[in-house]
Amino acid sequence: MSKIFLKIFSGFLILIVTLSALLIIFTYYTVREQYLETLTNHLKNLNYSLSATIEQKLDTKSYFELDNYIKKLDKKIEARITIILPDGIVIADSEKDPSLMENHRTRTEIAQAINNGFGSSLRFSRTIRENMLYVALPITKEGNIIAISRVSMHTKDINNLYTQLRNSILSIAVILTLLSLTGIFIFSLSFTKPIKSLVEASGKISKGDFDTKLFLKRNDELKVLADSFNEMTTKLSSSFHEINKQKEELGSLIAGLHEGLIVIDKLGQIIISNKSFEMMIGRGNLIGVDYWTVLQDTKVTKLIKQLKSQYRSITKEIRIDDGFYLCSGSYIEPKEEIILIFYNITEMKNLEQVKKDFITNASHELRTPLTSIKGYVETLQMEIEDKHKPFLDVIEKNTDRIIRIVDDLTILSELEEKKQEPEFQSVNLIELSKNIIKILEHSATSKKLKLSFDSDVNLPLIKADSFKLEQLLINLIDNAIKYTNEGTVELKIYKNESTDRTMFSPKIVIEVIDTGIGIPKEHHSRIFERFYTVDKSRSKKLGGTGLGLSIVKHIVQLHNGEIKVESELGKGTRFIISIPSV
Ligand code: ADP
C-alpha cells in the first residue's frame, strides 16, 4: 500500500467516521426529543379523554368505584393512571392501593398542573420504584380544580424504544460509512495508482532507464502530467545519449593523445589520466592517487601552486625518471581542478645536447690549430717580402675573426650549460664599470666619441658573476662604439625603486645609450639570436661575430634579469637591463 494512498484513505476515514458519529448523536437526540414530546402529547390526550368520566365519578364522590374503573382501564391502555385531589390526597391509582400512597401535592407534575394547567416530569417513582414519565392535567368544574388526573408510563418501555431507535440509526450509519469507505477506497486507488506509476517510472529513470514510459487511460491533469513526463524522458534520453557520445569521443581523444594528460582535483588527487601518462610514469590505475606520489619533481608542486594563485596557463620543463617533459598546466576555476599535459621533449633535449657538445668540442678542437696558425702568420710577417704582406694581413684578419667566433661560441656553450645554482659573489658595479670604461676608452677616443659613466652614489652591492657582468658590459659598450660614428656613448647604472612589478621593480638598472646608427624596429626582436646581424657586411667589416648580444642575453637570464632595446634609425640605441638587487 503506498504512503499517499494510506494518507488519503485514512484522512477520509477519520472524516467520515467523525461525521457519522456526529450525525448519529444529533439524530438520536433529536428523534428522542421528538419521541418524548409525542409521548407526552399522547399521555396528555389520554388525560383529556378520561377527564369527563372522572369528573362524573367525582361528583358522586364514589372514589372506590373510580379506583376500580381506573384499574380496569390500565390493562387496556398500558399506562398508569392516578387521580389526586387538589390537596394532594390520592383517591385512585391503576396500579397501587391509593390509601397506601403518600400525599402527592409536592410532585413536580402535580404542582405544575395546579399552577400552570399542565404538568410533566420524567423521574423515579418512589411508589413503584421505577423511572416514569408523568403527565398531569387539572379537572375543573365551574372554574375550580376538583382533582388532577395523571397518566404515566414506564420508562423501560421508552428505553426499549430508544434502544430500537439507536440500533436502527447505528445500522444505517454503519452501512452508509461502509459504502462511503468503499467509494473512497476506489477513488483513492484510482488517484494514487497513476502517482505510484509516476514514482516507479521516476525511480527507473534515476537508475538510467530512459525508455520508461507512462500510459494513463484517463482525461485529466494526471494524463497531462504523464504526457509531459513521457516528453521529458524522451528529451532526457536523447540528451543523455548525446552526452554519452561526447564523453566517449572525449574519452577516446584523451586516451589516444600522444601527450600524457592528467586532471587533478582540488585535494590533489588524480581524477583523469590517459594511457600515455601511465606509460610515461610506468604505472596504471591512477584514479584517486595523490599526484605528488607519481610526480616527484618539485617543479610540478610549484607549478600547481602558481596555477592556483595566478589562474593562467603555465608551462615548465620537468624531469620524470630519465626523460624531459614540458609540463603545461591550466586551472579550471569553477571546479578548482587542474589539467596537466606532458610533452615528451627528451629527444629534442638530447639533440640539443648533441649540438651543444658538438659546438663545445669543435670550438675546443679549433682553438689550438687557430692559435698555431696565428703564431706562424706573426712569425712569417717578419720574414716575408713587403709585396706579399697584404696576403698575410688577410690571413691574419680572418684567423682573428675565426678565433673570436670560436671564443664567443665557447662562452655561449658554457652559458647554455645551465648550472643548477650559479655561484654568485657580491659585486661592486661602480668599480667594475670604471675598469671597463678604462679598457674601452681608447677605442672610443680613436673614433672621437665621448664615453661617459654615470651612477647612483649609494648603489648597493649585488650578487652576481663579476666575470660575466664584465663580459656583458664590454659587449654592449663595444657594440655602441662600433655602431656610432659621432656623438656619445653613455653607461648609466641606478637603482629602480618603482613599485610596478611588471617590468623593472626593485632592481638595478643598467643602460647603455649611444647616438649611433640605430636599429630598425623590425630587427628588435631578432638581434638577440645567434649569428643575427642587421647588416652582415657592416658587422663583418667591424669585426662582429653576430654572437655578442646572444651572449649578453644569456648572462642577463643567468642573473634572473630582463633586457630590452629602444632604438631609432639614425638617432641612436638604448639597451636597458634590469637585474634583481638582492
Ligand atoms: P655583432 O658581433 O654583429 O655586433 P651582436 O650580436 O653584438 O653582433 O649584434 C647583433 C646586431 O645588432 C649587430 O650586427 C648590429 O646590427 C646590431 N647592433 C647591436 N648593437 C647595436 C648598437 N649599439 N647600435 C646599432 N646596432 C647595433
The backbone region for 268, taken as left when phi is positive above 0, alpha when psi lies in -120 to 50, beta otherwise, is left
Run of H or E residues at 241: helix 221-256
User: How far, in Å, from the CA of 510 to the mean position of ligand 1?
Assistant: 18
Residues 421-580: name the CATH superfamily: Histidine kinase-like ATPase, C-terminal domain (3.30.565.10)
| Ligand 1 lined by 544 (C-beta under 6 Å) | yes
Task: Give the length of the chain.
Answer: 582
Whether residue 582 has pLDDT greater than 70: no
Main-chain dihedrals φ then ψ at residue 581, nearest 5 degrees: -80, -15
Task: Show the cell assigned to 456.
Answer: 647612483
- For 335, the grid coordinates are 571546479
3, pLDDT greater than 60: yes
Q: Is the pTM of this model over 0.75?
A: no
pLDDT at residue 477 above 70?
Answer: yes
**Residue 573 near ligand 1, beta carbon < 6 Å:** yes
Q: What is the mean pLDDT of residues 30-57?
A: 86
Task: Examine the pLDDT at 337 and tell me if it is beyond 70.
Answer: yes
The Cα–Cα gap between 153 and 137 comes to 15
Distance 428 CA to ligand 1 centre (A): 27
**Dist CA 314 CA 326 (whole Å):** 10
Query: Which residue, among 572, 561, 545, 568, has the nearest Cα to 510 in the 3D structure?
Result: 561
Q: Are domains 3-161 and 257-344 of this chain identical in fold?
A: yes
- Determine whether the shortest distance from the Cβ of 516 to ligand 1 is under 6 A: yes
The better pLDDT of the pair 38, 129 is held by 38
Using CA atoms, how far residue 51 sits from 6, 69, 96, 103, in Å, is: 66, 13, 20, 21
CB atoms within 10 A of CB 109: 25
- Per-residue pLDDT at 400: 92
Q: Which residue has cell 409525542?
A: 38
- pLDDT tens profile 67-86: 888 888 877 777 889 999 99
C-alpha 137/C-alpha 117 separation (Å) is: 6
- Look at the domain 3-161 and name its fold: Beta-Lactamase (3.30.450)
What pLDDT shows up at residue 419? 57
Would the CB of 548 count as within 6 Å of ligand 1?
A: yes
Helices 346-383/389-416 angle, 10° precision: 150
Name the phi and psi angles at 228, rounded to 5: -60, -40
- Predicted confidence at residue 452, as pLDDT, reads 97
**Max mean pLDDT range (171-175, 421-425, 439-443, 537-541):** 439-443
Flag the least confident range among 1-5, 20-24, 84-88: 1-5
Contacts 24+ apart (CB under 8 A), 47-53: 47/135, 47/136, 47/137, 47/149, 47/150, 47/151, 48/137, 50/81, 50/149, 50/151, 51/137, 51/139, 51/149
Pocket test of ligand 1: the residue of 549, 566, 567, 568 to mutate, having most ligand atoms within 8 Å of its CB, is 549
Residue whose C-alpha cell is 648597493: 460
The pLDDT assigned to 56 comes to 82
**pLDDT band per the 50, 70, 90 thresholds, residue 233:** confident
How many Å apart are CA 348 and CA 391, to the nearest integer?
44
Give domain limits for the chain: 3-161, 208-251, 257-344, 349-416, 421-580
Q: Give the pLDDT score at 74.
A: 74
Predicted pLDDT at 503: 45
Q: Provide the 10 A C-beta neighbour count for residue 254.
A: 18
187: CB partners within 8 A, 6+ apart: none
Ligand 1 pocket test: which of 400, 534, 553 has the largest number of ligand atoms within 8 Å of its C-beta? Answer: 534
Distance (Å) from CA 548 to ligand 1 centroid:
8
Q: Is 546 in the pocket of ligand 1 (CB under 6 A)?
A: yes
Q: Is the pLDDT of residue 226 over 90?
A: no
Average pLDDT of the residues in 349-378? 90
Q: What is the DSSP string of 435-472?
A: HHHHHHHHHHHHTT-EEEEEE-TTPPPEEE-HHHHHHH
Residue whose C-alpha is closest to residue 303's, from 331, 275, 322: 331
Residue 504 confidence (pLDDT) above 70 = no
**pLDDT (tens digit per residue) in 412-438:** 888 877 655 677 899 999 999 999 999
Give the confidence band of 499 by pLDDT, cuts at 50, 70, 90: low
Three-state secondary structure call for residue 268? coil
Give a three-class secondary structure readout of 25-36: HHHHHHHHHHHH
Structure-block grid coordinates of residue 322: 630519465
**pLDDT tens for residues 143-170?**
889 999 999 887 777 778 778 888 888 8
Atom 4 of ligand 1: nearest residue by CA position: 544
C-alpha cell recorded at residue 241: 545519449
- Mutation choice for ligand 1 from 478, 533, 538, 565, CB with most ligand atoms inside 8 A: 533
Confirm or reject: Cβ of 67 under 6 Å from ligand 1: no
Terminal Cα-to-Cα distance of the chain (whole angstroms): 81
What is the structure's pLDDT at 418?
65
**Where do we find the cell 392535567?**
137
Joined grid coordinates for residue 448: 672621437
Whole-number mean pLDDT of the chain? 88
Over residues 94-107, the mean pLDDT reads 89
The CATH fold of domain 349-416 = Helix Hairpins (1.10.287)
Where is mean pLDDT largest: 108-112, 305-309, 422-426, 542-546? Answer: 108-112
Q: Amino acid letter at 64?
A: F
Whole-number Å distance between alpha carbons of 288 and 273:
10
Distance from C-alpha of 325 to C-alpha of 341, rounded to nearest angstrom = 9
Domain spanning 257-344: which superfamily? PAS domain (3.30.450.20)
